[in-house]
Structure 1
Amino acid sequence: MSPKITIGISFKNPGNYFKLALQSIFAQTFTDWELILIDDGSSDDSLAIALNLQDPRVRVYCDGESKGLNIRLNQMVQLAKAPYFSRMDADDVMHPQRLEKQYQALIQHDENTVIGSAAYSINAESQVAGLRPICTQQSSGFAARHSFIHPTVAASTEWFRRNLYSEDFIFQRSQDAELWCRTTGYTKFINLSEPLLYYRESGTFSFKNYMGTSLGLLHLIYIHYADRRLTFLYLFLRELAKLSIACILDCFNISELLVSMRYQSLSSQAIEDSTAVLTTVKQQLLPLGDLQWLK
């Protein structure tokens, strides 16, 4: 088998979201893919589900350890057999045309290009909450941290191998931001305006995760602006202020206010259309062996 795109998913206790993420892959209009699933120390049923997928395009790896997403991403890139690599998180949902449209965009550019897309924001109940907009202009330095909605990206496998994710613990929650800041000077970043992912964020806020991301961003500020004291101080204090606000909102159980600022509202027709696509994905059958109760 010689697939055109490798999809990489590292998972750790994704719960009920995992099935829908997998359904969205099998619902793709582009079928020349391989799927690499790496268990990062799950204790739920997700590994059993992965091992029971009866499709030669699926490869499952488990070493019983919890190493972190940044390390697993590099592992999946090294295991990939396809010329292109597509990121995916275990709790998100691909639009059925994601691979088709990103593949067409990738083959029109050289291998020094990363392609992402806009995304629908969905909540814990997999309902469409809004639209996550995209960056239309490429930024440099620390500003490049917001270049992509991280689970939407795809690039040549060789690009990912030349530009590995940092395995430094400080970037365990902000490995994508670090990568974009490091590579923006010599890589072309492109975002497709069409939402090609359902990004789960509304109603799933975790202050622990937010703090982990902020610590990585604070370190990035130091890397880029340690020799520019005023700029460093301004950005550092701004990030600390955002972290403090998030902490306060979380204490009062109103952190959803912070999340809602990340996405734009949609018209009733747009919500209806995007929900209809999501409903179709939910009806996709998985090629499960013994786990008939999941069908």
Structure 2
Amino acid sequence: MDQPRITVLMGAYNAEGFLREAIDSVLAQTVGDFEFLIFEDCSTDSTRQILQSYDDPRIKLYLNATNQGLTKNLICGMDLAQGAYVARMDADDVCMPNRFERQLEYFASHPEVSVLGSAVTFFDGKGYEFVGYQPEAHDEIKCRLFTGFTMLHPSVMMRKADMDQHGLNYEADFVCSQDHDLWTRSIRKLRFANHPETLLKMREHPSKIGNTRKSTQEELSGRIRRRQLDELEVEYSDEEFEAFDRLAGYGLVTGRTGLMACESILFKVLESNRSCKVFDQKILERAVADAFYGVCRSHLIRKSTLGAYWRKS
């Protein structure tokens, strides 16, 4: 096989339930010039047998002797990738047939962009679906990665040469939230964007890492947020950090004391950024206001009087 245009990178562990649908959606892409690196991570179900049943020369199957975890598989995959672009994919999601085509078109018309995600459709396979639109512009993405999250991992395609030029790869310490860590490091050096079309379906189910390793994911994302605050040279109390972590993590801050701490650290963030200039100030102000309003609105929805705090802030 000649050097492929795209490397598709996927890990698979106990993924038998949705694996075929995920693989088939990649193999059916309207752009077929890719290699498909799949790391089978010592599953205890029929994952390995399913993978070995495929006879497609684009698939390169790596059978781990011991369980490595997704992050180490991704580090290895980035090192092995031969494509000019690296596309992430998860073993429980579904690519739209034109995903690669549309992302390559975007890269061709936006040579300044190095990392490209997209809007996605969240679904559970039982009739529940909704579209998760993402911020499209670089500076908005940069702020969202601070006040919340975006660049949904299995939707992302990266220019390999740009990642290599800056020595950017996943970090082994981040057994979860490895994408959050990589994006927040990479966006300091590279341009990001999200394609406006829904190019991926992300499956919601109880076995997702966000459910099975929730506490670890929250702890590691908290570490990333501390790093971001430190880069802004923000001084904060434990209470203020807890409030910010809850705001950015899942948009809920409890209690009047929590809302006051959240408001306090957000004002510190805005003031620090005026001198550090990490973020576009106007976009950051809007992102911070939207995030804080969202917290207050969640209290209003729950018919809590704390929702009125927004009017007093």
Aligned to 1:194: 197
Whether the aligned pair in 1 keeps the contact of 2:144 and 2:150 (CA below 8 Å) is no
Please give the root-mean-square deviation of Cα atoms over the aligned residues, in Å. Answer: 2.7
Please report how far the alpha carbon of residue 63 of structure 1 lies from its aligned counterpart in structure 2 after TM superposition.
2.1
| 1:229–1:210 CA distance, 2 compared to 1 (3 A) | same
Structure 2 distance, partners of 1:118, 1:133, is: 5
Higher Rg = 2
Greater Cα offset, 101-110 or 18-27: 101-110
Letter matched to residue 223 of structure 2 = H
Q: How does 1:1-295 map to 2 (within 5 A)?
A: 1=1, 2-110=3-111, 113-123=114-124, 125=125, 127-136=127-136, 137-140=140-143, 143=146, 146-161=149-164, 162-168=167-173, 171-201=174-204, 207-226=211-230, 228-230=234-236, 233-239=239-245
Please report how far the alpha carbon of residue 13 of structure 1 lies from its aligned counterpart in structure 2 after TM superposition.
0.5
Match of 1:229, SS?
A: coil
Please report how far the alpha carbon of residue 142 of structure 1 lies from its aligned counterpart in structure 2 after TM superposition.
5.6
Whether the aligned pair in 1 keeps the contact of 2:146 and 2:228 (CA below 8 Å) is no
Unaligned runs of 5+ in 2: 253-297, 299-313
Please report how far the alpha carbon of residue 59 of structure 1 lies from its aligned counterpart in structure 2 after TM superposition.
0.6
Whether the aligned pair in 1 keeps the contact of 2:84 and 2:160 (CA below 8 Å) is yes
| 1:126–1:163 CA distance, 2 compared to 1 (3 A) | farther
| 1:18–1:127 CA distance, 2 compared to 1 (3 A) | farther
Please report how far the alpha carbon of residue 234 of structure 1 lies from its aligned counterpart in structure 2 after TM superposition.
2.3
| 1:51–1:126 CA distance, 2 compared to 1 (3 A) | farther
TM-score normalized with structure 1 length: 0.74
Whether the aligned pair in 2 keeps the contact of 1:11 and 1:38 (CA below 8 Å) is yes
Match of 2:142, SS?
A: coil
Greater share of helix: 2
Aligned to 1:264: none
Whether the aligned pair in 1 keeps the contact of 2:5 and 2:34 (CA below 8 Å) is yes
Unaligned runs of 5+ in 1: 246-260, 262-295
Greater Cα offset, 58-67 or 94-103: 58-67
| 1:71–1:126 CA distance, 2 compared to 1 (3 A) | farther
Structure 2 distance, partners of 1:196, 1:232, is: 40
Whether the aligned pair in 2 keeps the contact of 1:144 and 1:181 (CA below 8 Å) is no
Whether the aligned pair in 1 keeps the contact of 2:10 and 2:39 (CA below 8 Å) is yes
Match of 2:36, SS?
A: strand
Letter matched to residue 99 of structure 2 = R
| 1:3–1:207 CA distance, 2 compared to 1 (3 A) | closer
Whether the aligned pair in 2 keeps the contact of 1:85 and 1:156 (CA below 8 Å) is yes
Please report how far the alpha carbon of residue 118 of structure 1 lies from its aligned counterpart in structure 2 after TM superposition.
0.3
| 1:122–1:114 CA distance, 2 compared to 1 (3 A) | same
Greater Cα offset, 157-166 or 70-79: 157-166
Whether the aligned pair in 2 keeps the contact of 1:117 and 1:192 (CA below 8 Å) is yes
Structure 2 distance, partners of 1:145, 1:60, is: 35
| 1:146–1:134 CA distance, 2 compared to 1 (3 A) | same
Structure 2 distance, partners of 1:187, 1:212, is: 28
Match of 2:4, SS?
A: coil
Aligned residue pair count? 244
Q: State, as a whole percentage, how many aligned pairs show the same letter.
A: 26
Match of 2:183, SS?
A: helix
Superposed CA offset, 1:187-242 (max 9, x none): 11110110000001266565442222111111112223355232774243343586
TM-score normalized with structure 2 length: 0.70
Structure 2 distance, partners of 1:126, 1:54, is: 31
Whether the aligned pair in 2 keeps the contact of 1:25 and 1:94 (CA below 8 Å) is yes
